[in-house]
């Protein structure tokens, strides 16, 4: 169907001299919806391998996200019914973020067999990308593999579940997916499941939107600790966050969230949450979604890159410069024009330089801090 470049591209250090490892993308979801190839440069979506090379992206977390069943059946119609512009692709792709802003309109929890079937498809998609890349891309399972990839220019893909809907109460699927390569798991997306309660998308609002983890959710955290699967807090509500903080022996991680004091979205982190992340030696990945950056919560793409650096400054001030990374949300959110796809990542690096970030700090934020947390969580 498509021409796959088997040529090994040059190392990732071309565009900025510094590779970026990114805490979140929804590319596994976007590829089948748009029908594009990961190996050909496209104007659709935000991330493919040629554009990753242009932008010095060395790799990132590839999320497996399960859409609501009725949404999969007919993509645009429910969006239109819910008042979302069918051309607002991020909103359509992610399955009606709008409907998750009202706790009284939440869809029913999805069936396990459906979620497992969909997860199987998405995980297979990732492994097929690895196979088709003929060595240009690799699913990383250890910190040493991640370090190696970032050093030699092999594109590093970390398997992540955004929501644990595909995990059964006996954790059989968790065991199997771990053996396959699962190394990071968000207990919830922004909806409830058998393990906990995600934050509905609200602005301005506190992330303290409901109850904490279920007993099964607490057991899931322990299982993830035992196996060495990173637990991602980005879509959890605040009570769930504190439950994980009390139970988990690993660093606390929010792969793609911002600063609540600047943008009061439920998806962002309060100062108390940031303090807990710092105390645990954890990390926060900066989310590029305009609605989680803009001080007024505006979702349009006409957002200055300086606003992204404002969040980075606040994260560095609260966490220290070794606990801040990037977590773009490419292919799952509305990006600011200046980084409208991954090829423009160097613009963000330049904006950091313009604000006075030196090369050593930029390296930490770009990839070294993620490496540090993966080493602590997975073992070196
Ligand atoms: Zn997300």
pLDDT tens readout for residues 160-172: 999 999 999 999 9
User: Is residue 104 predicted with pLDDT exceeding 70?
Assistant: no
User: Is residue 108 predicted with pLDDT exceeding 80?
Assistant: no
Which residues, at least 6 apart from 88, have a Cβ–Cβ distance to it below 8 Å?
79, 334
The whole-number pLDDT of residue 343 equals: 97
Closest alpha carbon to 21 in 376, 378, 372: 372
The whole-number pLDDT of residue 173 equals: 98
For residue 184, the CA-to-ligand 1 centroid distance in Å is: 13
Q: What is the CA radius of gyration of the chain?
A: 19
For the chain, how many helices (H) and strands (E)? 16, 9
For residue 162, the CA-to-ligand 1 centroid distance in Å is: 7
Closest alpha carbon to 344 in 52, 10, 35, 18: 52
For residue 1, the CA-to-ligand 1 centroid distance in Å is: 30
Neighbours of 3 (CB within 10 A): 8
The whole-number pLDDT of residue 9 equals: 43
Sign of CA dihedral 361, 355, 255, 25: negative
pLDDT tens readout for residues 178-207: 999 999 999 999 888 999 999 988 899 999
Q: How many domains does the chain have?
A: 1
For residue 372, the CA-to-ligand 1 centroid distance in Å is: 22
pLDDT band of residue 74 (cuts 50, 70, 90) is very low
Average pLDDT over residues 28-54: 95
Q: Which residue has the tokens 């990006």?
A: 335
Residue count of the chain: 380
For residue 6, the CA-to-ligand 1 centroid distance in Å is: 31
For residue 234, the CA-to-ligand 1 centroid distance in Å is: 7
Phi, psi values for residue 231, rounded to 5°: -100, 125
For residue 26, the CA-to-ligand 1 centroid distance in Å is: 8
For residue 359, the CA-to-ligand 1 centroid distance in Å is: 29
Q: Quick one: tokens of 255?
A: 């792969």
pLDDT band of residue 71 (cuts 50, 70, 90) is low
Given a contact cutoff of 8 angstroms between Cβ atoms, the answer to whether 369 and 325 are in contact is: yes
For residue 65, the CA-to-ligand 1 centroid distance in Å is: 9
For residue 87, the CA-to-ligand 1 centroid distance in Å is: 20
88 to 46, 110, 251, 299, 307: CA distances (angstroms): 14, 24, 35, 11, 22
What is the CATH number for 51? Answer: 3.20.20.140
- Rounded Cα gap, residues 270 and 280, in angstroms: 16
The whole-number pLDDT of residue 12 equals: 40
Average pLDDT over residues 109-130: 95
Cross-strand pairs, 157: 60, 139
Classified as helix, coil or strand, 204 is coil
pLDDT tens readout for residues 339-367: 999 999 999 999 999 999 999 999 999 99
The model's pTM is: 0.90
Give the strand pairing for 230-232 and 182-186.
parallel
For residue 259, the CA-to-ligand 1 centroid distance in Å is: 15
Which residues, at least 6 apart from 255, have a Cβ–Cβ distance to it below 8 Å?
23, 24, 61, 160, 184, 186, 232, 234, 285, 327
Give the domain extent around 47: 3-378
For residue 27, the CA-to-ligand 1 centroid distance in Å is: 12
Mean pLDDT of all residues belonging to the chain:
89
Cross-strand pairs, 198: 236
The whole-number pLDDT of residue 15 equals: 53
For residue 235, the CA-to-ligand 1 centroid distance in Å is: 7
- Rounded Cα gap, residues 268 and 271, in angstroms: 10
pLDDT band of residue 211 (cuts 50, 70, 90) is very high
Beta-strand runs (E) in the chain: 20-25, 57-64, 137-139, 155-162, 182-186, 230-232, 253-254, 283-286, 324-326
pLDDT tens readout for residues 255-313: 999 999 999 999 999 999 999 999 999 999 999 999 999 999 998 899 999 999 999 99
């Amino acid at each position: 169907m498509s021409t796959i470049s088997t040529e090994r591209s040059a190392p990732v250090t071309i565009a900025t001299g510094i590779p970026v490892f990114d805490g979140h993308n929804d590319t596994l979801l976007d590829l089948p919806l748009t029908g594009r190839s990961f190996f050909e440069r496209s104007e659709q979506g935000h991330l493919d391998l040629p554009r990753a090379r242009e932008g010095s992206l060395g790799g990132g977390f590839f999320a497996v996200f399960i859409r609501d069943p009725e949404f999969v059946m007919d993509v645009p119609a429910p969006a239109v019914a819910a008042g979302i512009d069918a051309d607002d692709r991020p909103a359509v792709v992610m399955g009606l973020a709008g409907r998750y802003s009202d706790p009284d309109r939440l869809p029913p929890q999805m069936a396990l067999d459906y979620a497992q079937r969909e997860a199987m498809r998405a995980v297979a998609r990732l492994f097929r990308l690895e196979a088709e890349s003929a060595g240009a891309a690799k699913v990383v399972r250890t910190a040493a593999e991640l370090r190696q990839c970032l050093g030699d220019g092999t594109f590093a893909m970390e398997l992540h579940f955004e929501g644990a809907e595909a995990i059964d109460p006996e954790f059989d699927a968790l065991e199997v997916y771990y053996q396959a390569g699962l190394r990071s798991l968000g207990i919830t997306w922004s909806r409830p499941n058998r393990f906990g309660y995600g934050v509905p998308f609200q602005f301005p609002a506190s992330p303290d939107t409901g109850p904490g983890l279920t007993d099964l959710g607490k057991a899931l955290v322990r299982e993830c600790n035992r196996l060495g699967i990173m637990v991602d807090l980005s879509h959890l509500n605040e009570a769930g966050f504190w439950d994980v903080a009390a139970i988990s022996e690993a660093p606390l991680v929010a792969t793609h969230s911002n600063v609540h004091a600047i943008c009061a979205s439920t998806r962002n982190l309060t100062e108390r949450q940031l303090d807990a992340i710092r105390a645990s030696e954890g990390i926060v990945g900066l989310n590029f979604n305009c609605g989680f950056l803009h001080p007024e919560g505006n979702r349009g793409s006409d957002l200055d890159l300086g606003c992204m650096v404002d969040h980075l400054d606040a994260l560095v001030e609260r966490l220290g410069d070794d606990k801040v990374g990037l977590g773009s949300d490419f292919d799952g959110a509305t990006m600011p024009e200046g980084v409208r796809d991954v090829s423009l990542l160097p613009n963000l690096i330049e904006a950091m330089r313009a604000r006075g970030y030196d090369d050593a700090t930029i390296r930490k934020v770009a990839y070294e801090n993620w490496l540090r947390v993966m080493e602590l969580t997975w073992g070196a």
